[in-house]
Amino acid sequence: MCAVSAAPAVRAVEQPALSFSRHELAGAFGDLGTDLPLLVGVVLATGMDAPAVFVTFGVLQILSGLAYRLPMPVQPLKAMAAIAIAGKIAPPLLAAGGLIVGVTMLVLANSGALEWMARTVPKAVVRGIQVGLGLQLLMLAVTRFLPSGGWLGWALAAAAVAIVVGFRHNRLVPPGLLVLALGLAVAAVTWPADLLGPWGFRLPSLPTRWPTTEEFGRAALLLALPQIALSLGNSVLATRQVVTDFFPDREPLSVRRIGTTYGLMNLLAAPVGGLPVCHGSGGIVGHYVFGARTGGSAVIYGITLVLAGLFLVGDPAAFQRLVPGPILGALLLVEAVAVLLLVRDLWRWPSAFALALICGATAAFAPYGYALALVLGTLTSLLLRHRWPPQAAAGRL
C-alpha cells in the first residue's frame, strides 16, 4: 500500500518485512489488558454472538498487520463499549453506531478534514490526549484489575511487573512471554476447569436483523457523538504521532490512510456481528514495549483471537479467566506508564508541557473530556504559539 511515483527514476518505498519471532509473539499480547475485558464485557452485556465478535476482531487484527506491516493492532471503540456495557444495549443499536462512525471517518479522511486537523492541532495537545489515555489505563489497572485477587493478586502483579523490568533488555527471553506463562500457570491452579470446559467448536452466527431507522437516530446521539471526539484525538492524531515516535525511519503514515482503514473496518465489522473498532496509540505502545516491531505481532494476535472465537463455547468469561486479573492489570500498568512517558519530550518547553498535562487531565476526567481537550487545547495553543520554538508548533512535531 505504498505510494509509487509516476516518474520511473523514483523507486517505490519498500514495505518492511513481517517477522514472527518470539519477540513478535511476546508483543502480540501487549494490549490484551485493554481488549479482553471490553470484548468479554460487551458480549455478556449485550448478548452478541461471542464467536462472531472474537473472529471478526481477530480477522481485522490480521488485516491491519498485513496492511501496515507495523505493530498496528485494532482495538474496540472504548466509548461505545463502555456505553454498551453500562446500558446493556441491543446489538443492532451497537451495529448502527459502528456504521455511523465508520462512514463519518471515511468522509473526514477523504474530504481533507483530517489533514487540516493534523496541521492545526499542535503536538502538545496530541501528547495531552495520550496523557489522558495513560491516566485512564492507569486508573483501570489500579482500581479494577490489580486488586482483583486480594493480596495474592497484588503479589502476582508485582511479580509480573518485576519480570517486565528485569527482562526488558533480554534479547533471548521476551518478558511478555514470561508474564503470559505465569498467568496461565496461575489460571491452571485457580480455574483448572476453564482449561478444558469452555472449549469446543462453533461457527459464528450472523446478526438476525438490521438496525431500524429509529436505532440509527439513537445511535448517532448515544454512541457515535462521544466516540468520534475520542477517535479523532487518540485513534487518528495520536496514533500517527506514536508511529512517528517509534518508527522514525519508516515512511510516515498519513492521517487519511489511518482514517480510511478505521472507517472500512467498521463497515466490514457491523454486518457480520463484529464489535465497532479503531486503531489506537495505546495498542501500538502495548505491542511495542513488549517487543513487537512489525505487523507480525498483530497477525499472531489475530490468529489467536480467531481460534478462540471458533473453539470457545459456553461462558465467554471463562476465556478471560485464563489470564488472571492481576496479570491483565500488570500489562495495563506497563502500557499506561509507557504512554504517559511519551510526554517527556516536551519538558524543555514549560508552556507546552503544562498544556499537555492540562489536556491530559481534562481528557481523562472531564465529561466529553477528549473533545474538550482537543478543542480548548488547540485554541489555547494559538495564544501560546509565539512562545514555542518551531518543534512545538502545530503540524511540525
Query: Binning pLDDT at 50, 70 and 90, where does residue 79 land?
Result: confident
Tell me, yes or no, whether 280 lies in a domain: yes
pTM, to two decimals: 0.84
Per-residue model confidence (pLDDT) at position 328: 84
Query: Binning pLDDT at 50, 70 and 90, where does residue 4 land?
Result: very low
If one counts the domains in the chain, the total is 1
The number of beta carbons lying within 10 Å of the beta carbon of residue 181 is 11
Tell me, yes or no, whether 228 lies in a domain: yes
CA pair distance 184, 158, nearest whole angstrom = 16
Question: Which residue would you say has higher pLDDT here, 200 or 268?
Answer: 268
User: Rounded mean pLDDT of 278-298?
Assistant: 92
Q: Are 355 and 125 in contact (CB under 8 A)?
A: yes
Phi, psi of 356 (to 5 degrees): -60, -40
Query: Binning pLDDT at 50, 70 and 90, where does residue 386 land?
Result: low
Q: Are 80 and 234 in contact (CB under 8 A)?
A: no
Residue 193 is given by DSSP the state G
Phi, psi of 97 (to 5 degrees): -60, -45
Q: Are 356 and 341 in contact (CB under 8 A)?
A: no
Tell me, yes or no, whether 196 lies in a domain: no
> Which ranges of the chain does DSSP label H, i.e. alpha helix?
22-27, 32-46, 50-68, 78-87, 91-110, 113-120, 123-140, 150-166, 175-190, 213-219, 225-230, 239-246, 255-269, 281-289, 296-311, 317-321, 325-340, 350-365, 369-384
Q: Give every CB contact of residue 282 below 8 A, 6+ residues apart in sequence.
A: 31, 34, 75, 133, 134, 137, 234, 335, 339
Tell me, yes or no, whether 304 lies in a domain: yes
Tell me, yes or no, whether 1 lies in a domain: no
DSSP conformation letters of 96-111: HHHHHHHHHHHHHHHT
Tell me, yes or no, whether 79 lies in a domain: yes
Q: Give every CB contact of residue 344 below 8 A, 6+ residues apart in sequence.
A: none
Could you report the per-residue pLDDT of 299-353, keeping only the tens digit for each?
999 999 999 888 876 566 666 677 788 888 888 898 889 889 999 989 888 888 9
User: Rounded mean pLDDT of 76-83?
Assistant: 86
Could you report the per-residue pLDDT of 17-46, keeping only the tens digit for each?
899 999 999 899 888 888 888 888 888 889
Q: Grid coordinates 489460571 are at which residue?
A: 187
The neighbouring-strand residues paired with 76 are: 277
Region of residue 205 (phi > 0: left; psi between -120 and 50: alpha; otherwise: beta): beta
3-state SS, residue 202: coil
Boundaries of domain holding 241: 22-191+210-392
Tell me, yes or no, whether 161 lies in a domain: yes
Angle at 111 between CA 3 and CA 260, to 5 degrees: 55
Tell me, yes or no, whether 14 lies in a domain: no
Per-residue model confidence (pLDDT) at position 220: 92
